Structure 1
Amino acid sequence: MCTISWFYEQEAYHIFFNRDEQRSRSKAVPPTIFNDAGVEYLAPTDPQGGGTWLSSNSFGLSLALLNFYQGRLPKGKLHSRGQIVKALASCASYREVAQRCNSLPLQKYAPFSLLVFDPAQNLNDAPMLRWDGRELDCAIQSSPLISSAKLFDEVVTSRLSLFKSHCMDGKVNSVEDFYRLHKGHAGGQGNAHSICMHREDAQTVSLSHIYVNLKNKQSNFRYWDGAPCTIDTPQSYQLALL
């Protein structure tokens, strides 16, 4: 289970990503600056698969990957989906992301949804590549996007209702509005229905906030390393844009 939301400003955008994982999963490594063929990018690392679920590079392009549990698992041994983000993290545009993704051996990966964010984009919706285990499709996705393996319909309905009442319906929202949602237990008192969730087997293990601004030529990555409802001050990382 994961939840991502976002909004755009003039030549800028914000991403908010709650990562939900099994309690038994190894703790992720906080964001680090990587260099791929001369292109720097910020990304946390999942030590279990060596990949990442979220990246932001010096072109101002950010990628976010969520599991697509409603797809069909390919046969055979599968690679970590987090490696896909690392393979694409140095791309300069959505077009390049799509071209590179098409060239990957996708039959070796479980289904996923990959969102692409670019500060030059004019709309709040984000282009998305979705691998369902058979085909790679291109789509346009509205905020938010929710991923869940259990109780999918119930969880999505509950969380969408929260976003609609707090951050949609024509409202002018602030970063703090999104923080309250992503760090809070509204709608579920901390169970699977709330955005910051806590179950016996799984919980929200981090919150990431990426802010990319072309005017300031900077990507800011704020990272709550743990259940965000328990952390007041996040870790903060910066990356200069080209």
Structure 2
Amino acid sequence: MCTASWNIDKEGLRLFFNRDEQRTRSAAVPPRFFESEGVRYVAPIDPDGGGTWISVNEFGQVAYLLNNYSKTTEGERFKSRGELPIKLAACSQRSEALGIICSLKLTDYRPFFLGLANRESLEIFGWDGCNLESIHPDLPVITTSSFRSDEVQKYRKDRYRYWMGSAGGNSTEKQRRFHFETSDSDSAFGPMMYRPDARTQSVTWLDVSSESVVLSYQEILEEKSKLEEPIVLNCKIRKESLAR
């Protein structure tokens, strides 16, 4: 029940992520600094599972996670999918992240979509419980929903087309408007969604350039949204090393 969209141009990567969750789930811990194998990274934390849905490190490497509701798997115990972005947080290059993913016992996890990005490239992988494959969306947006999945995905993609094709405003502002849009006809359909059992809990957006990573985070509360101060990391990576 999440939505991510992205844009890569000469300025770098801009990525937005709406995290949708059950209302019974604990409130997330806002993004903060961590360190893994000597590498600094930033991530919000899900206190129930101990993992995260998005991480970015000082090398400008991003990992983000969505549940794959179109696939189901049988099993008594699974590891938290939120472990995955944290496992990848120390990677200085995309090739390192790919190596880690391929080394994991993926049958320990329920189906997921995992995005790997930096300021020059983005790739999405889908795990269906049996196979891991590269995903190629027809638009720079991926969205999932456990409720009327096909209809919700079509609605959100249509709204993405509407906003990005609309006149006026720059692409960043259009992308932001898309992620904060609610549906007038059915509140479960909008990128900013509300259902009796679940709702959008937060919006995270990243700007990754050759000089820095800026992570902004807005917690979506029932009564009033809370905007955290942006977190800035100075990038260590050189341009020629990014895509490796």
Q: Does 1:143 align with 2:140?
A: yes
Distance of 1:237 and 1:73 partners within structure 2: 37
Aligned to 1:92: 92
Whichever residue aligns with residue 94 of structure 2, its letter is Y
Give yes or no for contact 1:98–1:129 (8 Å, CA) kept in 2: no
Distance of 1:155 and 1:33 partners within structure 2: 34
**Root-mean-square deviation over aligned CA pairs:** 2.1
For residues 57-113 of structure 1, what are the alpha-carbon distances to aligned partners after superposition, in whole Å with 9 as ceiling and x for unaligned?
A: 111111110000112324231011000111111112222211101111211100000
Alignment of 1:149-188 (within 5 A): 149-168=146-165, 173-185=170-182, 187-188=183-184
Cα distance change on mapping 1:80 and 1:180 into 2, 3 Å: same
Whichever residue aligns with residue 127 of structure 1, its letter is E
Aligned to 2:239: none
Q: Does 1:203 align with 2:199?
A: yes
TM-score, with structure 1 as normaliser: 0.90
Q: How far has the Cα of 1:171 moved from its partner?
A: 9.2
Cα distance change on mapping 1:19 and 1:56 into 2, 3 Å: same
Aligned to 2:190: 194
Aligned to 1:34: 34
Give yes or no for contact 1:4–1:18 (8 Å, CA) kept in 2: yes
Give yes or no for contact 1:183–1:228 (8 Å, CA) kept in 2: no
Q: Does 1:57 align with 2:53?
A: no
For residues 110-144 of structure 1, what are the alpha-carbon distances to aligned partners after superposition, in whole Å with 9 as ceiling and x for unaligned?
A: 000001111133xxxx3112111011112334411
Whichever residue aligns with residue 197 of structure 1, its letter is M
Q: Does 1:2 align with 2:17?
A: no
Q: Does 1:130 align with 2:138?
A: no
Cα distance change on mapping 1:212 and 1:86 into 2, 3 Å: same
Whichever residue aligns with residue 181 of structure 1, its letter is F
Aligned to 2:218: 224
Structure 1's unaligned 5+ residue stretches are: none
SS in 2 for 1:19: strand
Cα distance change on mapping 1:232 and 1:77 into 2, 3 Å: closer
Identity rate, percent: 34
Distance of 2:26 and 2:151 partners within structure 1: 28
Distance of 1:16 and 1:228 partners within structure 2: 21
Whichever residue aligns with residue 145 of structure 1, its letter is I
Distance of 1:241 and 1:181 partners within structure 2: 28
TM-score, with structure 2 as normaliser: 0.89
Structure 2's unaligned 5+ residue stretches are: 237-244
Distance of 2:223 and 2:190 partners within structure 1: 12
Whichever residue aligns with residue 221 of structure 1, its letter is L
